[in-house]
Chains A and B, each alone.
Chain A
Amino acid sequence: MPNLENLYREVIMEHYKSPRNKGLADLPLSHIKHIKNPSCGDDITIQTLVEDGVVKECRHDGSGCSICCASASVLTETMIGKTEQEAANIAQHYLKMVSNQPYDENVDLEEAEVFIGVRMFPARVKCASISWKAFLETLNQK
């Protein structure tokens, strides 16, 4: 099953088993978004702290399938240190990539590129998107 092996890339499994920035922190000025997919059990919370237009902290918590959990972990690593504008741009292009829509390949998605295999699995697009959509909403909470 070449497609499926392509989905579970090493980086994804590594983030699934050792998630980064996991667990919410006590950050009074941060924004938090909780998204659930009740039919499959994905339940993800994203916490973002923006200071002076830069993402200072990005954390995640929750449970779900490997794609859901790993993509949340990769999200947080990708976003810390980006300006709000860069972060939103990366997230938008990432969401297009996983849902198999045209996206700008010149935008550096960094490690998040490993989720390109998701586009071959329409039923799994939601899993890879949920934390990234939640992240965009934390940026919009003002």
Chain B
Amino acid sequence: MEKSIWRQDFPQITNGLVYLDSAAMSLKPQSVIDKVQYFYTNLSTNIHRGLYPTGVKTTMLYEQTREDVAKYIHCETEEVVFTRGTTSSLNLVSFSFAKGILKAGDEVLTSELEHHSAYLPFYEAAKQNGASMRFVKLSKEGRITVEAFKKALTEKTKLVVLTYVSNVMGYITPVKEITRIAHERGIYVVIDGAQALPHLLIDVKDLDIDFLAFSAHKMLGPTGIGILYGKYELLQKMPPFEFGGDMNDIVTLNTVEFKDAPQKFEAGTMPVASVLGLSDAIAYYQQHDIVKMEEHTQKLHRYCLGRLSKLDGIEIYNPTAETAIIAFNLKNVPPHDAITFYAEKNICMRSGHHCARMVSDFLGINGCLRASFYIYNDFKDVDLFVDATKDAIEFFQKMGF
């Protein structure tokens, strides 16, 4: 059967590891690992500070990564802010931007599919300003639709905060159409792209969204580095969120001035090694073609769903998902019990609420199992997973569940 042509680039994949938790974090290709090691071995100096060769080189590579990101998502270089992750990016938008525009009585339109890192920052900012959160009614299968979005809009809607790809259901939100409708009414649009970047080519100018947040660690890159794309005129109007070194122009007894965006949002020492590694993650997608990668991942997804559908004793919550996430439970088995069975076979998955508790409530379940496939998985992984699922069903029945 067809093999993953990318598998060999991921040193962590050795015999026996079946990694089905890429929706939580992707594995890293050797090139990314090499770059991080290169930084600590050869550079290990800060950016925008040391005027000696390693300092200059580090600054150059850091700013080059900003350009790489900008080209990759089709925006201007100064519209790319580095943060500590999607969570930090969304907190920055929430407390520097949303808090400035939300007034008492205003509404933030969001959905039950949101990850806590998208919901909570805006929930908090809204609460502090006397505004409230309103929800797009999900379709029967749990999707955000344009029709439901239109119905949920009110005169009070000031801001839309939505996930691009749900981290539990794997559905793709119709972001472009939603953004067009929102903008017709002067409503700003914030998109959580954490699960989208690993699967989709994104053109922020074409989508016309105001903000996009995502993390390197889900898209083959290192941990500790996130990206906030924001339209430049919005970024420029936003006050800094964190204050400290490197983000200011002048600090005297009488005067304090901050740099322009994006630097005014990058206070203190940034995770430089991780930023450098991100450039190799992006290069990997460009060299290997994310569209082909997605075709491979979707083949695995369809094959897996086909095999699972023949099993009794399993409930799948998102059989129509566009991205390769399968949310499911073994019937009558709490997900936390089931996950241990898979873990014993070195099949890595996640169980629980997946930091998106509102999805569990929507489905009426106390958590679920989540298998997510990515470019380094192959058909053998699917077979091992499905065989393990068969065994698990038998095992738990035998145990009396």
Contact = CB atoms under 8 A, between A and B. Distances in A.
A127 B336 contact: yes
The 7 closest A-B pairs by CB, nearest first: A65-B336, A41-B367, A65-B334, A8-B399, A13-B400, A40-B352, A41-B366
A40 B367 contact: yes
B335 interface: yes
Interface of A: 1, 3-5, 7-8, 10, 13, 17, 38-42, 63-68, 121, 123-124, 127
Nearest to A7: B340
A65 B337 contact: yes
Interface size class of B (residues with CB under 8 A): 20 to 34
Contacts of A42: 336
A5 to B, nearest CB: 8
A63 B395 contact: no
Contact of B353 (A39, A63, A67): A39
Given A4-B395, A13-B400, A66-B334, A40 B340 contact: no
B343 interface: yes
A121 B339 CA distance: 11
A95 to B, nearest CB: 19
Nearest to A43: B366
B401 interface: yes
Given A4-B395, A40-B351, A40-B352, A124 B366 contact: no
B282 to A, nearest CB: 31
B285 interface: no
B241 interface: no
A124 B336 CA distance: 8
Contacts of A68: 336
Nearest to A3: B344
B357 interface: yes
Contacts of A67: 336-337
Contacts of B339: 123
